[in-house]
Amino acid sequence: MKTDYYAKRRKRLADEMADMSFYFVYSGEALESSLDETFLFEPYRNFIYLTGLESEKTLLLITKVKGKVIERLFMHIPSEKERRWLGLAFDEEVIKEKTGINNILPLEDFEDVISRLMFNNDIRYMYIDEVRWRMSYPLKKEGLLANELLKTYPYLSCHNAFNILARMRRVKDDLEIAAHRKACEITEKAVKKMLLNMKPGMKEYEIEAYYDFVLKSEGVKAPAFTTIAASGKNACIMHYMDNNTLAQDGDLILFDLGARYEYYCADVSRTYPVNGHYTKRQRDLYNVVLKGLDAAESLSKVGQLKHDLQFISKKVMAEELKKLGKIKELSEIDKYYFHGSGHYIGLDTHDVGDEEDVVLETNTMFTLEPGLYFDDEAIGIRIEDTILVTKDGPEILSEGIPKKIEDIESFMAKGE
């Protein structure tokens, strides 16, 4: 049962908590976009990881007192008006069943529960859970609450549990792997739809629309990240997202995209010929990148230093470019290859858990994405796969998305 996975994750967290402590995490709220509109609500990923719940304005509190662990959810109970206008539902039994948490309380009760907890017990540690990408970002609910609690209980010792969760999230359980597979399957279906409909003279966004259509049809509310559809020289701009240029006959087009399923992200890049056929030159350069990717993928095994995989791709690509006469010295590859290759993937596209000197473990998932960018030839090529490390070696979850030149050309020849 799904619920068991969430319960197990919470237990692992509680096991890492010191005795006489409490932990809390907030689900978040939809952010204002303009006037009365809000952005799509994105639950805080550690919250959804521990509960499976997508509800806004919800706090999970885990207390550990004399070894006894109690879990509580504090939820915003929708008013009549909210039920009418937003259809916000609140069914305690459904929430209990979904999360495996039996104590469901109104959000306003959080203060009372903490007051009693602090008064009745010698609580020493407070764990908050706050993701902090930049020091300058405003404090989130967890940080604000922690500041308030520290003013009231200055003898509490406060810790951020974010990295405990990050290490947990690095190794995926079966529920997560299944969701990832699904995200990759949808991505595959969507890319194939695009390939069968792409023609010279279409705008990049027209091509992208075929991909979006499949995502929507599969119930994907939002992709894992903004799609890059970059034809010709646009492919040499790393984060080109305008996608409004005419894709010309003879151009290559670079896609970097991924569907999201139950918040699990796929991340795949492919570089295809707009007209269905690579020129000799495009073919040669494409195969340089593909060889770079293959070399790193074949070494994606348990115990491999993850950070080193990018250098393996780079070395192979440099040798191949030298063979083609594009460079004379191997070091000249830096002119054409200048980004890192690969990141963990999970509830976030660039997922957590990427510490120094970390080696690949069974059930870790990551991407490899070598690329070469030739401004002088208006050619940018990146090929990226989503990879699962199994005990028997790498499993490429995006393998079904055409990647070899002969497969691409024969697939595109089918047309729709």
Rounded to the nearest whole angstrom, what is the least distance from the CB of residue 26 to Mn ion in the complex? 28
* 267 is a contact residue toward Mn ion (CB under 5 A): yes
Rounded to the nearest whole angstrom, what is the least distance from the CB of residue 236 to Mn ion in the complex? 17
Nearer to Mn ion, 114 or 347 (CB): 347
CA distance 338 to 310: 11
Rounded to the nearest whole angstrom, what is the least distance from the CB of residue 320 to Mn ion in the complex? 22
Interacting stretch for Mn ion, rule CB under 5 A, among 35-43, 85-93, 153-161, 364-372?
A: 364-372
Interacting stretch for Mn ion, rule CB under 5 A, among 34-42, 43-51, 203-211, 262-270?
A: 262-270
Which residues 6+ apart lie within 8 Å of 141 measured at CB?
26, 28
Nearer to Mn ion, 267 or 351 (CB): 267
* 310 is a contact residue toward Mn ion (CB under 5 A): no
Residue with the shortest CB distance to Mn ion: 267
Residue pair 44/27 in contact by the 8 Å Cβ criterion: yes
Neighbours of 93 (CB within 10 A): 8
Nearer to Mn ion, 251 or 267 (CB): 267
Q: How far is CA 228 from the centre of its chain?
A: 16
> DSSP readout, 319-350?
HHHHHHTS-SSGGGGGGT--S----B-SSSSS
Rounded to the nearest whole angstrom, what is the least distance from the CB of residue 210 to Mn ion in the complex? 21
Nearer to Mn ion, 203 or 307 (CB): 307
Q: Which of residues 368-387 bind Mn ion (CB under 5 A)?
A: 369
Across 161-267, where does the E strand assignment appear?
228-231, 252-257, 260-261, 264-265
CA distance 235 to 168: 36
CA distance 165 to 181: 22
* 367 is a contact residue toward Mn ion (CB under 5 A): yes
Nearer to Mn ion, 277 or 343 (CB): 343
Rounded to the nearest whole angstrom, what is the least distance from the CB of residue 395 to Mn ion in the complex? 18
* 313 is a contact residue toward Mn ion (CB under 5 A): no
Q: Residue 387's beta-bridge partner residues? A: 366, 396
Q: Please, what is the angle between helix 204-217 and helix 174-197, to 10°?
A: 140
Rounded to the nearest whole angstrom, what is the least distance from the CB of residue 366 to Mn ion in the complex? 9
> DSSP readout, 256-295?
EE--EETTEEP-EEEEEETTS---HHHHHHHHHHHHHHHH
Rounded to the nearest whole angstrom, what is the least distance from the CB of residue 5 to Mn ion in the complex? 26
Nearer to Mn ion, 142 or 385 (CB): 385
Helical (H) or strand (E) element with 105? strand 103-106
Which residues 6+ apart lie within 8 Å of 387 measured at CB?
297, 300, 365, 366, 367, 368, 394, 395, 396, 397
Interacting stretch for Mn ion, rule CB under 5 A, among 105-113, 149-157, 261-269, 327-335?
A: 261-269
CA distance 282 to 130: 46
Radius of gyration of the CA atoms of the chain, in A? 24
Rounded to the nearest whole angstrom, what is the least distance from the CB of residue 254 to Mn ion in the complex? 12
Q: Tell me the number of residues near Mn ion by CB under 5 A.
A: 3
Across 190-241, where does the E strand assignment appear?
228-231
Rounded to the nearest whole angstrom, what is the least distance from the CB of residue 188 to Mn ion in the complex? 16
Q: Token pair of 43, please?
A: 């639950």
Nearer to Mn ion, 267 or 297 (CB): 267
* 398 is a contact residue toward Mn ion (CB under 5 A): no
Interacting stretch for Mn ion, rule CB under 5 A, among 20-28, 157-165, 328-336, 367-375?
A: 367-375
Rounded to the nearest whole angstrom, what is the least distance from the CB of residue 266 to Mn ion in the complex? 10
Interacting stretch for Mn ion, rule CB under 5 A, among 15-23, 113-121, 216-224, 359-367?
A: 359-367
Q: What separation, in Å, do the N-terminal and C-terminal C-alpha atoms of the chain show? A: 41
CA distance 319 to 328: 10
Interacting stretch for Mn ion, rule CB under 5 A, among 134-142, 265-273, 331-339, 404-412?
A: 265-273
Nearer to Mn ion, 63 or 367 (CB): 367
- Judged by the rule CB under 5 A, the positions of this chain that interact with Mn ion are 267, 367, 369
